[in-house]
Structure 1
Amino acid sequence: MKGLDNKLQNFINANLRLREAVLKFAQNSDDLFRDGLIQRFEFTYELAWKTLKNYLESIGIVDRNSPKAVIKEAFAQKLLEDEDTWLLMLKDRNYTAHVYNEELALEIAKRITTLYVNEFEKLIKVMGHEE
């Protein structure tokens, strides 16, 4: 479980940094802060799904290799309570990595601050850690 513990701790640390970005963005929502928020969301999201994948492997579920498959299985295992939000998060993560659109960036930033950060918090709690 050492690998899982390391991944979970990295995810927790990334989430703390994301929360810092959420606070900064609330104080100053200019482009630079928004882009920093989105960047921190990207790496927090990557660590979240990879931590879930590692957890699933630790309980014997080894054939889930894409973020979507991991999310669906994590939902089935009751690690996630809102599959639709996590799938939207995946979609937004893919947009932020491959497309830049000002209007979309604003929408995603809003979802990060109002939805996604809370989902990350819930996952940390389900995985047995309180921040």
Structure 2
Amino acid sequence: MTRERLHRKLEEYRRACKRLEEAINLPLNHDIVYDGVIQRFEFTFELSWKLMKMFLEYAGVTEIRSPRAAIQEAYAYGLIEQGEQWIAMMIDRNKTSHIYDEKEARLIYDKVKNKYYKLFNQLRKRMEKEMEIEQ
């Protein structure tokens, strides 16, 4: 694991956060907005746990094989503060890829807009700070 690869992954994560922000700021005048936000949420979540995993491996924490393990280790390390909310986010992310229920999709949309986006940004800021400290 190189520092350069970690920087590239962080930059990829930043772009995903920005794209998610763009989506949640769109007016809800078409159902496709819900679909787009959920799709971007799925993508951002995948990048978030992989970024956590990559950073933790760089820091010497190994044997992370799943999103849940990455979240638990990131919480223990102090990369994230609301471990339970991240686990809830992971559960919602899993729901979005296995079922499609309009009511459930709208509930997840609300969580993305009002909770999860903030968690993604907190991780982004913490990672930027961690990477800045190392320079």
Q: Same fold (TM over 0.5)?
A: yes
What is the identity percentage for the equivalent residue pairs of Structure 1 and Structure 2?
Answer: 40
| TM-score between both structures, scaled by the size of structure 1 | 0.94
CA distance in 2, matches of 1:75, 1:19: 24
Runs of 5+ unmatched residues, structure 1: none
Using the alignment, how far apart are the partners of 1:10 and 1:38 within structure 2?
Answer: 18
The whole-number CA distance in structure 1 between the counterparts of 2:96 and 2:29 is 17
Q: Over aligned residue pairs, what C-alpha RMSD do you find? A: 0.9
| CA distance in 2: counterparts of 1:103 and 1:47, whole angstroms | 26
Output the CA distance in 1 between the equivalents of 2:66 and 2:120.
Answer: 18
Counterparts of 1:29 and 1:85 in 2: how far apart (Å)?
A: 29
SS of residue paired to 1:63: coil
Tell me the residue number matched to 1:4: 6
SS of alignment partner, residue 117 of structure 1:
helix
- Structure 2 gaps, min length 5: 130-135
Residue 29 of structure 1: CA displacement?
4.7
1:112 aligns with 2:108: no
CA distance in structure 2 between the partners assigned to 1:87 and 1:47 by the alignment: 15
Q: How many residues are matched?
A: 127
* 1:86 and 2:86 correspond: yes
- Calculate the TM-score normalised by the size of structure 2: 0.91
Report how far residue 30 of structure 1 moved: 2.8
Code of the residue aligned with 2:19 in structure 1: it is R
